[in-house]
């Protein structure tokens, strides 16, 4: 039977960063990835291949609570979903770690403060090469280190838009982004939602997994699926892995799950003899309330190529007329007609070309509050089943109204929005919440599972709340914190 000191299941932002943080610890580490390296190929930048044919998405369907099958927005490859993310890497706000009252409920406090994570935020920003600018955003928390790279500059039309927003009394800021502008990045229009053909995006494969593999102590098995965890005497004894069709049992002193908030919880739900004093394994599933907002200026073509450079957080914590937190606005990569076609197949392509040539696109993101009724389970067919009903929607509508008004005042008289559904789960979190008390949480503040000596979960499963920021940098920062903890114990 093969044995390692540490086994990490999953190579995304959580697992990849953890492996990087432990690479020089002297421990023998095995990373397990159910997919393979995503190929560098022309289709990486082909909208029809990526959005029309879903070339890189998982073809393993999940179920809704009523048994309807859908294709989740997950990618099984080295680097995980970070291979196609938009590389937005903001920090959570200081207030996100505290209890916050919302119009529809309470966002609970985390068992650690912003100050506990702040040094690791700086380390994660350096690891992922984050570009940003301090002093623009009044909601940004204090920092002990500057951004490692200066902000990604706006193109001319976006610069004019930023100036217009400032005239409205708003504080548009440069969105913190992880791209390799100095050497590789071409500032192309196929970044957000696409794999990077030249490895210029700061994803987990490029920034963490490949550097970790330079250590002789770190190994990687691809095309290997974790099937079952074997528990003995209040500890993980071994894990069964389907490696290319052959079932292998592997032992380790420490097992870390980093499969993503859904798959990590699903693997635990399939595990026998697992302690669960809280009854919360798989519960409190969150994915943010997300809407795409497309605004048009019919008389002017948008010639911008790299559009995703602005964020607006003026309503993140509320305003005088709506005193509850509303969330974040950020531009997304420039949408192309063929991408709109996959969402609106009945609209003729020439019309979509006209619209896409004259539009700007935004992502509107509000907090999805934790609710034990929103959870995952394993269906009678053995599939992952998602039970999710959006909440806090009145707040989301408030933010959408302010975003539309902001853009009308900036000279974009027409807009439409589309709220994302259950299949848009790139910000999934919360299914194995952390806390100090075993009866109301699954993991402790260092992501170790209550009741087991050697099982950790390092992905967005541990989030007690979702905040309203992209989660990747917070996952990476906690992974570095857990790496330090494991080396100290």
Q: Whole-number mean pLDDT of the chain?
A: 95
What SS3 class is residue 88? strand
- The C-alpha atoms of residue 7 and residue 250 are separated, in whole angstroms, by 9
What is the model's pLDDT at position 277? 87
pLDDT at residue 342 is higher than 70: no
- Taking the alpha carbons of 363, 37, 127, 485 in that order, is the dihedral positive or negative? positive
What SS3 class is residue 38? coil
- The C-alpha atoms of residue 162 and residue 308 are separated, in whole angstroms, by 12
pLDDT at residue 341 is higher than 70: no
Q: Taking a C-beta distance cutoff of 8 angstroms, is the pair 328, 380 a contact?
A: no
pLDDT digit string, tens, across residues 288-322:
999 999 999 999 999 999 999 999 999 999 999 99
- Assign 271 a pLDDT band (cuts: 50, 70, 90): very high
What is the model's pLDDT at position 371? 97
- The C-alpha atoms of residue 203 and residue 44 are separated, in whole angstroms, by 14
What is the model's pLDDT at position 307? 96
Residue in 126, 168, 112, 467 with CA at minimum distance from that of residue 289: 467
Length of the chain: 489
Q: Taking a C-beta distance cutoff of 8 angstroms, is the pair 339, 54 a contact?
A: no
- Cα–Cα distances (Å) from 259 to 79, 187, 246, 278, in that order, read 11, 30, 20, 21
The mean pLDDT of 359-387, rounded to a whole number, is 96
What is the model's pLDDT at position 153? 97
- Cα–Cα distances (Å) from 294 to 333, 379, 421, in that order, read 12, 37, 17
pLDDT at residue 1 is higher than 70: no
pLDDT digit string, tens, across residues 345-358:
778 888 888 888 99
- The C-alpha atoms of residue 362 and residue 373 are separated, in whole angstroms, by 30
The mean pLDDT of 209-225, rounded to a whole number, is 98
Q: DSSP secondary structure string, 397-435? A: HHHHHHHHHHHHHTT--EEEEEE--TT--TT-B-TT-B-
């Amino acid at each position: 039977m093969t044995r390692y000191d540490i086994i990490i299941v999953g190579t995304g932002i959580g697992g990849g960063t953890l492996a990087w943080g432990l690479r020089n610890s002297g421990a023998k580490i095995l990373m397990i990835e159910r997919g393979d390296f995503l190929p560098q190929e022309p289709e990486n930048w082909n909208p029809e291949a990526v959005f029309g044919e879903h070339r890189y998405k998982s073809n393993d369907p999940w179920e809704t609570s009523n048994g309807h099958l859908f294709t989740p927005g997950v990618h099984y490859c080295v680097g995980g979903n970070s291979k196609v993310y938009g590389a937005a890497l903001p920090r959570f706000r200081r207030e996100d770690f505290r209890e916050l009252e919302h119009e529809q409920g309470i966002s609970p406090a985390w068992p650690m403060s912003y100050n506990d994570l702040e040094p690791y935020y700086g380390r994660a920003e350096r690891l992922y090469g984050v570009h940003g600018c301090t002093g623009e955003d009044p909601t940004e928390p204090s920092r002990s280190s500057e951004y490692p790279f200066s902000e990604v500059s706006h193109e001319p039309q976006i610069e004019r838009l930023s100036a217009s927003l400032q005239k409205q009394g708003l504080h548009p800021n440069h969105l913190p982004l992880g791209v390799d502008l100095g050497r590789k990045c071409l500032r192309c229009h196929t970044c957000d939602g696409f794999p990077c053909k030249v490895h210029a995006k700061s994803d987990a494969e490029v920034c963490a997994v490949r550097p970790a593999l330079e250590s002789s102590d770190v190994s990687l098995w691809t095309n290997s699926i974790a099937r079952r965890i074997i528990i003995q005497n209040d500890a993980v004894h071994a894990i069964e892995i389907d490696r290319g069709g052959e079932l292998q049992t592997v032992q380790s002193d420490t097992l870390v799950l980093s499969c993503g908030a859904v798959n990590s919880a699903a693997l635990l739900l399939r595990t026998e003899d697992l302690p669960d004093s809280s009854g919360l394994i798989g519960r409190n599933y969150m994915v943010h309330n997300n809407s795409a907002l497309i605004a048009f200026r019919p008389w002017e073509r948008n010639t911008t190529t790299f559009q995703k450079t602005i964020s607006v957080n003026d309503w993140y914590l509320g305003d005088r007329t709506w005193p509850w937190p509303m969330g974040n606005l950020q531009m997304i990569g420039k949408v192309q007609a063929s991408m709109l076609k996959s969402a609106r197949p009945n609209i003729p392509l020439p019309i979509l070309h006209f619209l896409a040539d004259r539009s700007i696109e935004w992502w509107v993101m509000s907090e999805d509050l934790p609710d034990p009724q929103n959870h995952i389970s394993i269906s009678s067919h053995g599939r992952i089943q998602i039970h999710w009903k959006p909440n806090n929607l009145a707040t989301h509508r408030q933010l959408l109204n302010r975003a539309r008004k902001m853009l009308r005042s900036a000279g974009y008289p027409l807009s439409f929005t589309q709220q994302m559904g259950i299949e848009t789960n790139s910000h999934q979190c919360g299914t194995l919440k952390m806390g100090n008390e075993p009866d109301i949480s699954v993991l402790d503040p260092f992501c170790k599972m209550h009741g087991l000596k050697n099982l950790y979960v390092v992905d967005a499963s541990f989030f007690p709340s979702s905040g309203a920021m992209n989660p990747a940098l917070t996952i990476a920062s906690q992974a570095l914190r857990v790496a330090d903890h494991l080396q100290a114990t």
